[in-house]
Chain A
Amino acid sequence: EPEVTQTPSHQVTQMGQEVILRCVPISNHLYFYWYRQILGQKVEFLVSFYNNEISEKSEIFDDQFSVERPDGSNFTLKIRSTKLEDSAMYFCASSGGQEGTQYFGPGTRLLVL
């Protein structure tokens, strides 16, 4: 069964460093998303991406964040200068349609020291 994959599973970084989180969405999906979940809190939407551009973003997704689909399979989230409060699980998701069911990856646990 097709699934969303994410790498790395864990990332530890120093405050101020750049990190890139990688995702491989389900191959025939067209809509891609990033969410985050701070420990003990609910899953929060960051950004959605369609047709090689951002279609929607939340207030969390500030200028420190960017997304890219560098090739036909990968979808990346870059945090330019990490802050302590960026520590969270980051989930990638993909769907076949705009309001279609979203399938989530296993997540990347980011720890900013």
Chain B
Amino acid sequence: TQLLEQSPQFLSIQEGENLTVYCNSSSVFSSLQWYRQEPGEGPVLLVTVVTGGEVKKLKRLTFQFGDARKDSSLHITAAQPGDTGLYLCAGARRYTGNQFYFGTGTSLTVIP
């Protein structure tokens, strides 16, 4: 059973297009992180969101934490080839320890 479901699993778009990646769960998380992972490397932190409804922006990337803290989204505006990579969401659940539950990942390819 997947605690965090990401969609879509694969996404291939043209440079300049916008896209949104979703991270959904039926469980409540105390915080949620978005990471980007290159092949053969470790996840690199993009952002942490902790408050329901929180929106954070990182240049062309906009992250939102759902009001109920069960879901999150990552929106990329005007995608560039450098955005190509695997995007992972990971959540921490209060009162169940401090492990992170990782989503299944979204593999993004931006075509020049």
Contact = CB atoms under 8 A, between A and B. Distances in A.
A105 interface: yes
B65 interface: no
B41 A56 contact: no
Interface residues of B, number: 24
Interface string B31-51: 101010000111111001000
B99 A33 contact: yes
Interface string A89-104: 1010101001101111
Interface of A: 4, 6, 31, 33, 35, 42-45, 48, 50, 55-56, 58, 89, 91, 93, 95, 98-99, 101-107, 109
7 contacts: A42-B102, A45-B101, A56-B99, A58-B99, A98-B98, A101-B31, A101-B45
Interface of B: 30-31, 33, 35, 40-45, 48, 88, 90, 92, 94, 97-105
